[in-house]
Chain A
Amino acid sequence: MEVRDGLYYSKDHEWVRVEGDLAYIGITDYAQHSLGSIVYVEIPETGSTVEQGGVLGVVESVKAASDVYSPVSGTVEEANEALEDNPELINEDPYENHIAVVRMSNKDELELLMDKARYEEFTKGE
């Protein structure tokens, strides 16, 4: 299971890549692996606001439908529309296919997330 360096991770298996005030958010390799083949992704509306821990979208696999929680608060700057027609992109490369980009309203929230080493440790216990 791949965990990438330089990203932040949440307990709900989302990753965050920070570029200035923008947070690129997707689900981890661990998450896509447990879900199995993803058949549908519901992306958020651009301009909508999300709270940390609030629902950012939904991923549906042959096994189950799961909410994607936003690891940070802010405004949705962009949603990855490519996933609507090609949900399998997440299975193919979960770290290169973000679900949404959120303009963060409170960068301090990042401190509540895990780094690579801690997330690796966390998934061992799951």
Chain B
Amino acid sequence: MRDERLIFEKSVEGRIGYSLPISDVPKVNINSLFDGNLLRENSPEIPEVSEVDVIRHYTKLSQRNFGVDSGFYPLGSCTMKYNPKINEDMASLDGFTQMHPLQGPESSQGCLELLYRMDRYLSEILGMEKVTLQPAAGAQGEMTGLMIIKAYHTSRNDHKRVKIIVPDSSHGTNPASAALVGFEVVHIPSDERGCVDINALKETLDDTVAGLMLTNPNTLGLFEEDILEISRMVHECGGLLYYDGANMNAIMGIARPGDMGFDIAHVNLHKTFSTPHGGGGPGSGPIGVAKELVPFLPVPVVEKQDDCYVLDYDRPLSIGKVKSFYGNFSVIVRAFSYIMTMGPQGLKEASQTAVLNANYIRKKLEDLYEIPYNRTCMHEFVLSAVRQAKNGATALDIAKSLIDRGYHPPTIYFPLIVKEAMMVEPTETESPETLDQFIEAMRELAKLAEEDPESLKKAPRKAHVTRLDEVKAARTPVLRWSK
């Protein structure tokens, strides 16, 4: 029987994990220093445990974690690629860690140079004029981009543009960000190829459209082949195009959002550029903009004047700051390290391998699983467990069973337009052996789903906690420990 007690439940009155020398400062009654209304009535419930209790407790918890360092993590739309450890070495250099963000530019030239060069590299990769590194994640990048779209139309006294168009396969953050910035969200359907329905787009385009948000390749892992036509249509009606960079890992060094006609693009450094993702974050979601949008970028902008790097705050059209200081700086250092280690050819090969790996798995599973839009995919693909679900084993059951086989499950039930969806993104860092083992596990599960679907219902069996009651957890969550 495992000890599953919380640290609070391990508390024993009077047990302490420290020893301090006897104080040589006289004791003063706290009531003589503060008014009663400033003092708490009861002592805080801090667990009373020894040092070794604390260490064992948290070490055990950490061992339950599953990360990309512990195993294959094909979580679609998330690009859980391996985080090279050289990035950590670079980010822990004294020259970066010992800086204070309020230090003047004259004594922080190295950091400013890194930010400036990162802007140049990302601008080149995205095909954009200039990049801001401030947004702390993809969704904040979206918000920043949409604020720029708004500022752009406002600066032209074009106040009737209130709509943002998003495809029905988009990430949930797209409509959410648009609504947050005060736009009206218009959904357009996908066609039978899983791409933007050009006719439906045509019908929604008019002079009230502020812009279109698009992920390319889209969330089905398919390249929007009509992108040039789409951008022509949106621009013709006076709207701007926003590129959701969640799937940039498919096209890095091969195709550029700027060349496709996008005016604004974000990239997730914690996806495409190998910085820690998920609980290990924080993230970073820089955005790049086309030339006519540069004046609207958040302040400050790092500029190079002669041989010096300066922080430019004098930008009257700027939307202002979106994040304290200069963004998540140490994350940017890690991504910079990644770009430097990979080089242009290496980045391109990473995308090529990511696409190859996804197609390899897709081909090896297409006989056992439905693949709704089955054509050459990009860095990820969506399969559907409808065949298995008819028998009683749903996408959820298959995902839970993968945990017993040592894998982090793929994304399930997204995108919403595919039933029993499982979205698989292997990333480029996985060997053919790892891919084969995963394929074998998926094939075994398809077989089990046919012969003994009930056995999948009870998975996971080997995990620290077995099947959780997700419905109960969502309906009546217990978020706080109490005696």
Contacts and interface: CB of A to CB of B under 8 A. Distances in A.
Q: How large is the interface on B (under 10, 10 to 19, 20 to 34, 35 or more residues)?
A: under 10
Nearest to A63: B413
A88 interface: yes
B416 A62 contact: no
A37 interface: yes
B474 A62 contact: yes
Interface residues of A, number: 12
Contact of B475 (A63, A64, A66, A87): A87
A121 B172 CA distance: 30
Contacts, number: 21
Contact of B470 (A40, A62, A65): A62
B390 to A, nearest CB: 13
A64 B419 contact: no
Interface in A6-54: 34, 37, 39-40
Contact of A39 (B172, B416, B419, B475): B475
Q: Is the interface of B mostly helix, strand, loop or mixed?
A: loop
B246 to A, nearest CB: 18
B474 A64 contact: no
Nearest to B172: A65
Nearest to B415: A64
Given A34-B419, A62-B470, A88 B475 contact: yes
Contacts of A65: 172
Interface in B460-476: 470-471, 474-475
Contacts of B172: 65
B474 A40 contact: yes
A64 to B, nearest CB: 6
A116 B427 CA distance: 47
Contacts of B470: 37, 62
A34 B389 CA distance: 12
A39 B413 contact: no
- Of listed A34, A62, A63, A88, residue having the most chain B CB within 10 A: A63
A37 B172 CA distance: 20
A17 B296 CA distance: 51
A85 B475 CA distance: 9
Contacts of A62: 470-471, 474
A41 B444 CA distance: 38
Interface string B411-423: 0011010010000
Interface of A: 34, 37, 39-40, 60, 62-66, 87-88
Given A62-B471, A63-B413, A88-B471, 4 more contacts: A40-B475, A62-B474, A64-B416, A65-B172
Interface of B: 172, 413-414, 416, 419, 470-471, 474-475
21 contacts: A34-B419, A37-B470, A37-B471, A39-B471, A39-B474, A39-B475, A40-B474, A40-B475, A60-B474, A62-B470, A62-B471, A62-B474, A63-B413, A64-B413, A64-B414, A64-B416, A65-B172, A66-B416, A87-B475, A88-B471, A88-B475
- The 4 A-B pairs with the shortest beta carbon distances in the complex, nearest first, are A39-B474, A63-B413, A37-B471, A62-B470
